Homo-oligomer: A and B are copies of this chain.
Amino acid sequence: MNLIDGKATAAEIKREIAEEVAQIKAGGGKTPHLAAVLVGHDGGSETYVANKVRSCEEVGFHSTLIRYEEDVTEEELLACVERLNNDPDIDGFIVQLPLPKHIREERITEAIDYRKDVDGFHPVNVGRMSLGLPCFLSATPAGIVELLRRYHIETRGKHCVVLGRSNIVGKPVSMLMMQKGIPGDCTVTVCHSRTKDIKEICLQADIIIAALGVPEFLRGDMVKEGAVVIDVGTTRVPSDKTKSGFKLTGDVAFDEVAPKCSWITPVPGGVGPMTIVSLMRNTLLAGRKAIYA
């Protein structure tokens, strides 16, 4: 069993990005600038956004954090999106999800100029990804594919089973894995809550991408010898063994599954750290106008 070290890979990519930013600055170019909009004070969202801002500093980007209280109206938020769309110094921005219930998330997502949509959630970016055209890839699927690429894991002709059909992981990663190219060219099966015989299907998989959000769903007897397992789950399970009072738990019963795997990602330290560097990479591409003019 070999561990796919997402933390080390993410650190390596951050160094590469920092180097590129340094070159841009040395050449008199514009420093990439990411803005993040945070509504309310949800603990998870606070942590994610703080990590994004810190990563910006690490790679040498400018960053701007815009905060709204929980009671912000949809119109106020749309006005903020519009300002960011029109601000020439902002290369890319994100509105941290989830949003309060009185705000329609898709209205906000679609209001973002797709050329600044570094989260890759706008329909234009989702559609272009599906069509195999250059776009901002959403962070988690992009992070998964980048791990497979950097670890030279063979995907062509392999059977990849994706557990979960969410808009932010299951569906887009299934599209990327079936795409022509490397990584890609997989036969892809997407399983979800309605799937029967999920164990039998998993047992056929050369690569399993677990993104159901069900802690330790994938057990040892569901995985064939030599499989590659990518664990996207990050459920906060209460724990009396940690300072924070919870433990990040993946969708994979690691202790049972790992001994059978050729490669496996841990939680934490696997896919998680890769999502933020995917966002950094998109911001760099946005700053360079590498995808959209």
Contacts and interface: CB of A to CB of B under 8 A. Distances in A.
Contact of A165 (B126, B178, B190): B178
Kindly report how many copies of this chain are found in the complex they form together. 2
Contact of A127 (B122, B159, B174, B186): B122
A96 interface: no
Interface stretch (A12-20, A86-94, A194-202, A282-290): A194-202
Nearest to A132: B167
A157 B196 contact: yes
A79 interface: no
- Tell me what chain A mostly uses at the interface: helix, strand, loop, or mixed: mixed
Contacts of A188: 189-190
A156 to B, nearest CB: 6
Contacts of A39: none
A260 interface: no
A113 interface: no
Interface in A179-193: 179-180, 185-192
Chain A interface extent, by class: 35 or more
Contacts of A167: 130-132
A128 interface: yes
Contacts of A125: 123, 127
A71 interface: no
A7 interface: no
Contacts of A157: 194-196
A239 to B, nearest CB: 32
Contacts of A122: 127
A292 to B, nearest CB: 11
Contacts of A179: 165
The interface centre, meaning the residue of A123, A172, A188 with most chain B CB atoms within 10 A of its CB, is: A123
A24 interface: no
A291 interface: no
30 contacts: A106-B133, A123-B124, A123-B131, A123-B133, A124-B124, A125-B127, A126-B126, A126-B130, A126-B131, A127-B128, A130-B130, A130-B175, A131-B167, A159-B197, A165-B178, A165-B179, A165-B180, A171-B175, A171-B178, A174-B190, A178-B192, A185-B194, A187-B189, A187-B190, A187-B191, A187-B192, A187-B195, A187-B201, A188-B189, A189-B190
Pairs A-B, 3 closest by C-beta atoms:
A123-B127, A127-B127, A126-B127
